[in-house]
Structure 1
């Protein structure tokens, strides 16, 4: 996990995003326990309350679940939830900028589709 202590994104949000990334790349598999609040806060010198706030964001979204006396675990289906979220973000945020730039450069829709298809080969 990497954190930007000087950036504009609050640390608790960065904690949540880093955990999401670890779930998506398979570092934290579904059904498995993630590092405790204390482990994360000690390893990265972040206030435990900040780490807890980030983890609670993911609990509220159904990505993580707390098991009393056992710890915090990745829920079944968490990867799918995160993939859908990332796909929606891509379509809403990245794609319009991409299309706008392609238009500005004079790339036609047909050419763009061909380039995308070629990229998938």
Structure 2
């Protein structure tokens, strides 16, 4: 996995895990890779993956079944969406707003571009 400089590696791994859950590759209740397996897969130290798993446990996205391993929570999808929405609104959106202001891009122009994006990328939804 290619890691970015702007975000801690354990958070990038958390995003990857969340994506796998949202995509249905790691369904709720089913075992997700062990700390050691995911560390090997991501080419990182197992301590980094352990930090990721602790972070996701604190968010109640995954849980540890003693003797079995980690699994996604039954409400993982809803919790992931809530967590990502909160992070986007508090961290990423202010940066977007700053760039819109600096580049003199108005809300109407942004709305038009957003509608075009939705039509092209997700034509069968909504």
* Same-fold status (TM-score > 0.5): yes
The CA deviation at 1:75 is 0.3
Matches for 1:19-38 after TM superposition, within 5 Å: 19-38=17-36
Q: Contact 1:3 / 1:14 at 8 angstroms: preserved in 2? A: no
Relative to the length of structure 2, the TM-score reads: 0.72
Mapped to 2, the partners of 1:11 and 1:118 lie a distance apart of 33
Change (3 A) 1:113 1:28: same
Relative to the length of structure 1, the TM-score reads: 0.74
The CA deviation at 1:119 is 3.3
Instruction: Please tell me whether residue 55 in structure 1 is matched to residue 53 in structure 2.
Output: yes
Alignment match of 1:103 (pick from 101, 104, 107): 101
Mapped to 1, the partners of 2:30 and 2:96 lie a distance apart of 37
Mapped to 1, the partners of 2:5 and 2:97 lie a distance apart of 28
Change (3 A) 1:98 1:49: closer
RMSD, matched Cα: 2.6
Q: Contact 1:15 / 1:55 at 8 angstroms: preserved in 2? A: no
The CA deviation at 1:7 is 4.1
Gaps of 5+ in 1: none
What is the total number of aligned residue pairs between the two structures? 119
The CA deviation at 1:36 is 0.9
Change (3 A) 1:101 1:44: closer
- The SS at the match of 2:99 is helix
Q: Which structure has the greater CA radius of gyration?
A: 1
Gaps of 5+ in 2: 120-126
